[in-house]
Amino acid sequence: MTGIFIQGLPMRPVYLVDFCGASLMIVLSVMAFYYANKLRNLEPHNVLWTYLFWLCMSMVAFALSRGIGHVLRFIFNFVGFPGLWKLLAPYSGGLNTITLTSSAVLTFYYPNIRKVIDFIQEDARKLAETNQKLEDAHQALQELNQNLEQMVEERTMELRISEQKFRGLFEASRDIIFFCDKDGRITDINQSGITLLGFSSLEEIRGKPLIELFSKEGSWDPYQEDLRTKGHIKDMEVEFTRSDGTKLFLMITASAIKDEQGNITGSEGIAKDLTQFKKVMQQLIQSEKMASIGQLAAGVAHEINTPLGIILGYAQLMEEDFEDQEEVYETLKIIEKQTKICRTIVADLLKFSRQSLENKRAAVDINRCLDDALAIIEHSMNMDRIYVHKEYTNGLPPIMADPEKLRRVFMNIFTNAHHAIVQEGIVCIWTRQTEDHRYIEIIIGDTGPGIPPGNIKKIFDPFFSTKEVGKGTGLGLSLSFGIIRDHGGTIEAQSPPEEKFLLDAGMETVFIIRIPVIKETGKRNGKNES
């Protein structure tokens, strides 16, 4: 019991404090270890919490080693086995040293841990900034994407509207719009072009070389040369051949299509149909020419008529005086006959010049008017085995015309057809209403030899005739032209005809007469053939 007192002072309070302090050290170190472990479990990848966990673990080991050692010493001393503690004391001291050294070593690593933490925090900050920038960039990209989608949608709508406008123009245009590849083959063409060129579908004309449509061989080379050198063609008048062989007059404006290197990859063009325009111009020129000739004819007829009357009168008087001289009498008869022929020509000239002054017009049924004219001449044609085929459209509206003059026109055309055929042939007559219901159309054709190309433009000129001398004055078609013109209509000759059904009927020459109706009516209904 002497160990309980040191130099007369009691050591129990010291031992008690030491014992309690060791026990408290164990409790506190265990609590610190518990919370450090809890922090580490909350954030397993947190370096600081991991460091504190191991530091607390070393402190717990030190506290347990020291506290348990002190507690055991007091217990062994109290129960009377101090020798046993002396045996364990070196091991307890060594364990204390080791655990204390471990704790001290771990504390030396704190600055490094701090640097690691700072480095990690800096990286985290930079990463956060980067994430923020990425977020901002993502937001901006998203807004841009939304705007881009809107822009794309707007642009797509503009392109769709533009394409619809182009397609509408392409399909609705009355002109021919076409596209060709670099070899001059048609790749696309609008419906008007398909119809005007005589085809029924795009497949029939797609891939067709454009050169095959040019009627004249010399027209293609200038077309290609201008496209290659100038890059465009402006208002070039060309003649095309339709699928049925008829001619089509066009005015072409075209441009070359080039790639980024300037190489020609194709061409595009617009062709305007001038066929009807050329016909109208020819009719206008003919009308002006006929008007001028009519004025000239009137003056000439008046000047010639008087001397012809005097010549005829004296010739007839002299016939009475020379009846007994046969040779002289026959000569005077020839003078009388030729003078009367001249007076007939003069009378025709006066009719030609004065026909517009006469006004005996009434509502005329064109089919009946044609039959009246045929009744006069059909018998003589049948005698020469020339047969008449009629295809009249029933229910045609009446026209305002002079029936006598119209019969004269029809008689002239029938007579010319008779003379052209001579023997064995067919004369065909068609009547119909035009698609706009403004005109009645009369087509008279024959199977004769046709009219030479050099004469087709002259047949309505006064005194032009291919008949033998004495068999015609050359005024019949001129008079017919003037009569139809004065009725507000048109007359034209085609040899060969342009419409396919006329060619199929074997017609070599046709005369097409158009006369305006009194008022518009419904479409024609039905046909009466004979």
Distance CA 285, CA 293 (A): 12
Q: Which of 26-30, 156-160, 377-381 is most confident?
A: 377-381
For the stretch 192-235, pLDDT in tens is: 888 888 888 888 888 888 888 888 877 888 888 888 888 888 88
pLDDT at position 525 over 50: no
**Strand locations in 259-358 (E):** 264-273
Answer yes or no: is pLDDT of 527 > 50: no
* Cβ-contact 449, 420 below 8 angstroms: yes
Query: Is residue 57 pLDDT above 80, yes or no?
Result: no
10-31: average pLDDT:
73
User: Of 196, 199, 216, 217, nearest to 208 (Cα)?
Assistant: 199
pLDDT digits over 296-317, tens only?
Answer: 666 666 667 778 778 878 788 8
Report d(CA 309, CA 349) in Å as an integer.
16
pLDDT of residue 392: 92
**Residue 6 clears pLDDT 70, i.e. is over it:** no
The 10s digit of each residue's pLDDT in 262-286 is 888 888 888 888 877 777 677 666 6
User: In 44-59, which positions are buried (b, 16+ CB within 10 angstroms) versus exposed (e)?
Assistant: eeeebbbbbbbbbbbb
Residue 39: band (very low, low, confident or very high) from pLDDT cuts 50, 70, 90: confident
More confident position, 175 or 302: 175
% of the chain with per-residue pLDDT over 70: 79
**443: exposed, middle or buried (Cβ count in 10 Å: 0-12, 13-18, 19+):** buried
Three-state SS at 253: strand
- pLDDT for 512: 93
User: Does position 349 have pLDDT exceeding 70, yes or no?
Assistant: no
CA neighbor of 491 nearest in space, from 431, 444, 451, 448: 444
Give the HSE-up count for residue 395: Cα atoms under 13 Å, Cβ half-sphere.
9
Largest CA distance in the chain: 215
Q: Nearest CA to 271 among 174, 165, 163?
A: 174
pTM beyond 0.85: no
In tens, the pLDDT along 322-340 reads: 878 888 888 888 888 888 7
- The amino acid at residue 83 is G
CATH topology of domain 173-273: Beta-Lactamase (3.30.450)
Mean predicted lDDT score pLDDT of the chain: 78
Average pLDDT over residues 425-445: 91
- Mean pLDDT along residues 168-180: 79
Alpha carbon distance 509, 455 (integer Å): 12
**Strand duo 186-189 + 264-273: pairing:** unpaired
The dihedral sign for the CA sequence 79, 84, 89, 91 = negative
pLDDT of 374 higher than 80: yes
CATH assignment of 360-529, among 3.30.460.80, 3.50.50.60, 3.30.565.10, 3.40.630.20: 3.30.565.10
pLDDT at 389 over 50: yes
Which range is least confidently modeled, 1-5, 128-132, 249-253?
A: 1-5
Q: What is the mean pLDDT of residues 55-78?
A: 72
Average pLDDT over residues 496-513: 90
Distances (CA, A) of 306 to 294, 343, 348, 387: 19, 10, 15, 44
pLDDT at 442: 94
The closest alpha carbon to 317, from 332, 330, 327, 306, belongs to 332
What is the pLDDT confidence band of residue 464, given thresholds at 50, 70 and 90? Answer: low
pLDDT computed for residue 110 by the predictor: 67
- Residues 6 or more apart whose CB falls under 8 angstroms from that of 468 comprise none
